[in-house]
A and B are shown apart, each in its own frame.
Chain A
């Protein structure tokens, strides 16, 4: 999930476009991680040194690692250690963006260092995909400190992104959230969570994105919005919310229940308290996820 939030970071800082990211998420499965990107990520080489090796390679028939050692930028041990690393998703994304010309090595170096530093992330944090680290990353990304209960929102959204990866796919970019008092959508699914506290979760999207989202979840092809497409998106929300209340019950002893999902077309919902609208861009379009707790 760090790849998706690193993508979101790049987009929010205007370092690349949503289109660049969509293309990169599609292409990254075919990308081979190069030593230069690994060395930049590990802080062993600067982007300038990587560029120097790349340029030198054009006139000398030698591998990147051998040249980098010869030029004194890294040791043979460093190269071996880098080559033994498992490719991580966010580095593959970075490499793909560099390959596609969306980012230069220097921009990638600055972005990855700033991203890790701003989020106080170490390589171990990122590679282990720890829940606590994910929660921290999501809380920071969405500025949930201002929410009525930042913990509830953070737990909910962390689970939501895990379920998006599990059931829809990992080729998405989360965009910055906006705080809303009402939300209007061409297609809208609403589910209320009641009990120790109350919350409302919604999914909203325009036609193509809505159909695309349903098609991914159902693993079927859809061309028109009908009751089955609504039921499919509704079931994603229901499964997500159900797993959330199971976690709340098991981990915090909080007892909650769900209402049946409400499916609407061209509808608007008004919230009593703060609601967060979380847009996520997929190759098939933008889907908004809204969470409000009160």
Chain B
């Protein structure tokens, strides 16, 4: 898949985190970026847009990132969900991977880390 055909969903309750990552994605030339501010909205936006890759925060109001991940993967087993969280403990990492996440990024997310993820999705590695 070409990066310029890729669609991305960013799920984070922090407006700042969403904007920063969204700007980074745009600078890579992705086709479209969608945003969700909580886990509930994340699931709805996923169903609505079926993005190629999802960046999911863990600590979010209403529905947590882990629960949103489970709901998405339950219905769409091939979903490419990358957890992007400030709480990258071994416990959270294991829980996320067990629930179906394909990768885990510790916040703050560097441009290099974000680019690696996008390239891996493009190559079909993730």
Contacts and interface: CB of A to CB of B under 8 A. Distances in A.
Interface string A200-238: 000000000000000000100000000110011011001
Contact of B90 (A231, A238, A249): A249
A contacts with B: majority SS: helix
B19 A250 contact: no
Interface stretch (A90-98, A118-126, A253-261): A253-261
A249 B17 contact: no
Contacts of B61: 260
B16 A232 contact: yes
A227 B15 contact: yes
Interface stretch (B3-11, B27-35, B80-88, B115-123): B80-88
Contact of A235 (B16, B60, B106): B16
Contacts of A238: 14, 59, 86, 107
Interface residues of A, number: 24
15 contacts: A228-B15, A228-B16, A231-B14, A231-B15, A235-B17, A239-B108, A241-B86, A246-B87, A246-B89, A246-B106, A249-B90, A258-B86, A259-B59, A260-B59, A261-B14
Interface of B: 13-17, 19-20, 59-61, 85-91, 106-108
Interface of A: 167, 218, 227-228, 231-232, 234-235, 238-239, 241-243, 245-246, 249-250, 255-261
